[in-house]
């Protein structure tokens, strides 16, 4: 280890001592206990999402961000979860990229390096929270905040992020899965539930929830067509219900599609198996990264607009984005430029009214997902070379070929390159075009929720098997 790397490690070790963390339980918890702790963390998070920040203008309270980060980061503008899990996710992605690109040299198989990675992630989370909190308070995203309460508002955002970080650690160590996944899935499920059953009446005179709106239309003798496509942003209509069911079915099917590469043990004669490569090999990561990039374009463009081009008169800055302030709220709404096209339409009505924008957003999302998908496998330990090293180190080989890393990697590359592109195109299409058919929870939200629920399904099966057959835990490396 170089002196520079040793110095960085020492700095993180010293700084991490001042950041409180959740201790691991002193004994193995049962599945029921893990579920209770997970539920408790979720209840606290949802309670925070209902607590309004002190000091923000009344018309911002309870507002919803117009960006995809509202889904990805489980945030609710104007509450204690305004930043949501954004700082945690961003910190984790940054460190994962730095480690994968070997800019920071850590061997995550070693316990001490894993502890250092966790400590660095927690520190970076707080740093990002400081930056994002300052942007929200002092860059005008909350409107005209009283300068006397601005520091208190900033402190609330940072403290809330720290609490959310502890909740995530609680779920990881005492509960099931991760708090990040749990909060995202719950947020998307809540939006879907609202679109199905919400009793609030919208501008068109119908209930928000599609089932209640349908019952209302039948009871009042109105045409079913009035709730098939609604002119209120696609909230709770029959088109959204049909498309949501169809998209969920597609996602469940694609989660099970995989290519199986035959492998055999080099020493145990007769032992053969397969190495499965899922169609969604890169999972939802390309969509998360692409959405983060697009949303940052929106934020940067809106800040530049508010400071230097508020009248949309600078032709050069107009290329980055033109905006307007709606009658209600302070969040700038893009009307042109790059920011307009990277955000994309959010409903069937919007897509039909501007098909050029709709098509452009799909093409941008798919192309970006493919590029980021290929980039992600190269830095996240998912490349053919890394997989070949893992197989060979575990004593496996591809039957009929030499047991050499380059040979095995070349064989695996044929499959991984194809599924990376196809999987990235699939998730890019679903994430971008699902909004055009008024899918509940947005396409990105459905992608994340189904992936998370599938992970929880496998976790529950694993925990159940370990409880029924304790000896299995030794095979799985749990004790």
More confident residue, 331 or 436: 436
User: Looking at residue 65, what is its pLDDT?
Assistant: 47
Residue 229 located in a structural domain: no
For residues 149 and 156, give the distance between their C-alpha atoms in angstroms, rounded to a whole number. Answer: 11
User: Looking at residue 62, what is its pLDDT?
Assistant: 44
Together in a domain, 272 and 158: no
Residue 411 located in a structural domain: yes
Q: Mapping DSSP to helix (H, G, I), strand (E, B) and coil, where does residue 333 land? A: strand
Together in a domain, 166 and 280: no
Cα of 380 vs its chain's centroid, Å: 16
Percent of the chain predicted with pLDDT > 90:
24
What does the mean pLDDT of the chain come to? 83
CATH label of the domain that carries residue 154: 1.10.3370.10
Residue 5 has pLDDT above 70, yes or no: no
Per-residue pLDDT reduced to its tens digit, 303-347: 889 888 888 889 999 999 999 887 665 677 889 999 999 988 888
Residue 64 has pLDDT above 50, yes or no: no
Residue 74 has pLDDT above 90, yes or no: no
User: Looking at residue 473, what is its pLDDT?
Assistant: 56
Residue 26 located in a structural domain: no
Single residue among 175, 208, 228 that ends a domain in this structure: 175
Residue 399 has pLDDT above 80, yes or no: no
For residues 87 and 305, give the distance between their C-alpha atoms in angstroms, rounded to a whole number. Answer: 25
Residue 61 has pLDDT above 50, yes or no: no
Together in a domain, 165 and 271: no
User: Looking at residue 171, what is its pLDDT?
Assistant: 94
Quickly count: other Cβ atoms within 10 Å of residue 20's Cβ. 10
User: Looking at residue 458, what is its pLDDT?
Assistant: 86
Together in a domain, 266 and 415: yes
Together in a domain, 256 and 164: no
State both tokens at 107: 């061997």
Residue 180 located in a structural domain: no
User: Looking at residue 422, what is its pLDDT?
Assistant: 92
Single residue among 159, 175, 191 that ends a domain in this structure: 175
More confident residue, 19 or 77: 77
User: Looking at residue 154, what is its pLDDT?
Assistant: 93
Together in a domain, 333 and 456: yes
Residue 445 located in a structural domain: yes
Task: Please give the full DSSP string across 112-179, using - where no structure is assigned.
Answer: HHHHHHHHHHHHHHHHHHHHHHHHHHHTTTTSS--TTTHHHHHHHHHHHHHHHHHHHHHHHHHSSS-H
| Host domain of residue 327 | 239-479
Q: Which of 38-42, 400-404, 408-412, 461-465 is modeled with the greatest confidence? A: 38-42
Together in a domain, 160 and 259: no
User: Looking at residue 2, what is its pLDDT?
Assistant: 53
- Rounded to an integer, the average pLDDT of 272-291 is 83
**223: phi > 0 → left, psi -120 to 50 → alpha, else beta; which?**
beta
Together in a domain, 134 and 260: no
Residue 219 located in a structural domain: no
More confident residue, 327 or 393: 393
Residue 246 has pLDDT above 90, yes or no: yes
Together in a domain, 171 and 243: no
Together in a domain, 246 and 171: no
Single residue among 123, 141, 175 that ends a domain in this structure: 175
Together in a domain, 145 and 294: no
Q: How many domains does the chain have?
A: 2
Residue 190 has pLDDT above 70, yes or no: yes
> Given pLDDT bands bounded at 50, 70 and 90, which one contains residue 299?
confident
Together in a domain, 327 and 415: yes
Residue 455 located in a structural domain: yes
Residue 192 located in a structural domain: no
Residue 185 has pLDDT above 80, yes or no: yes
- Rounded to an integer, the average pLDDT of 97-116 is 73
- Kindly give, in sequence order, each residue whose CB lies less than 8 Å from that of residue 409, ignoring residues fewer than 6 positions away: 384, 385, 387, 388
Residue 249 has pLDDT above 70, yes or no: yes
Residue 281 has pLDDT above 50, yes or no: yes
């Amino acid at each position: 280890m170089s002196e520079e790397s040793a110095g960085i490690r020492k700095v993180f070790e010293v700084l991490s001592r001042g950041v409180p963390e959740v201790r691991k339980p002193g004994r193995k918890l049962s599945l029921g206990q893990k579920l209770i702790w997970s539920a408790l963390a979720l209840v606290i998070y949802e309670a925070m999402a209902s607590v309004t920040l002190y000091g923000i203008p009344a018309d911002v309270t309870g507002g919803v961000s117009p960006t995809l980060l509202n889904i990805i980061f489980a945030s609710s503008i104007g509450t204690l979860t305004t930043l949501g899990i954004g700082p945690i996710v961003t910190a984790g992605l940054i460190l994962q990229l730095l480690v994968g690109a070997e800019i920071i040299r850590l061997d995550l198989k070693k316990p001490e390096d894993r502890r250092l990675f966790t400590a660095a992630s927690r520190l970076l989370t707080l740093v990002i929270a400081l930056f994002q909190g300052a942007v929200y308070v002092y860059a005008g995203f909350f409107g005209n905040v009283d300068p006397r309460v601005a520091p208190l508002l900033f402190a609330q955002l940072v403290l809330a992020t720290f609490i959310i970080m502890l909740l995530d650690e609680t779920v990881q160590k005492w509960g099931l899965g991760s708090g990040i996944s749990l909060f995202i899935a719950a947020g998307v499920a809540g939006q879907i539930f609202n679109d199905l059953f919400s009793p609030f009446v919208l501008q068109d005179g119908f209930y928000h929830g599609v089932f209640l709106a349908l019952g209302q239309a039948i009871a009042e003798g109105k045409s079913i067509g009035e709730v098939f496509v609604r002119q209120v942003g696609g909230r709770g209509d029959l088109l959204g219900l049909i498309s949501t069911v169809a998209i969920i079915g597609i996602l469940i099917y694609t989660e099970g599609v995989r290519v199986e590469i035959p492998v055999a043990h080099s020493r145990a004669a007769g032992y053969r198996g397969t190495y499965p490569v899922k169609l969604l090999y890169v999972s939802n990561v390309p969509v998360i990264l692409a959405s983060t990039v697009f949303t940052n374009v929106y934020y940067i463009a809106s800040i530049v607009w508010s400071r230097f081009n508020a009248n949309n008169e600078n032709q050069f800055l107009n290329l980055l984005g033109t905006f307007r302030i709606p009658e209600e709220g302070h969040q700038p709404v893009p009307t042109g430029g790059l920011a307009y096209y990277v955000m994309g339409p959010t409903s069937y009505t919007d897509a039909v009214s501007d098909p050029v924008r709709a098509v452009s957003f799909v093409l941008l999302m798919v192309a970006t997902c493919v590029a980021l998908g290929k980039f992600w496998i190269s830095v996240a330990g998912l490349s053919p070379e890394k997989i070949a090293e893992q197989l060979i180190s575990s004593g496996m080989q591809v039957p009929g070929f030499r047991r050499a890393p380059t040979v095995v990697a070349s064989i695996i590359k044929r499959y991984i390159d194809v599924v990376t592109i196809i999987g990235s195109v699939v998730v890019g299409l679903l994430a971008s075009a699902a909004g055009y058919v008024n899918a509940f929870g947005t396409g990105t939200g459905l992608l994340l929720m189904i992936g998370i629920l599938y992970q929880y399904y496998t976790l529950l099966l694993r925990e159940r098997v370990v409880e029924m057959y304790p000896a299995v835990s030794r095979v799985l490396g749990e004790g």
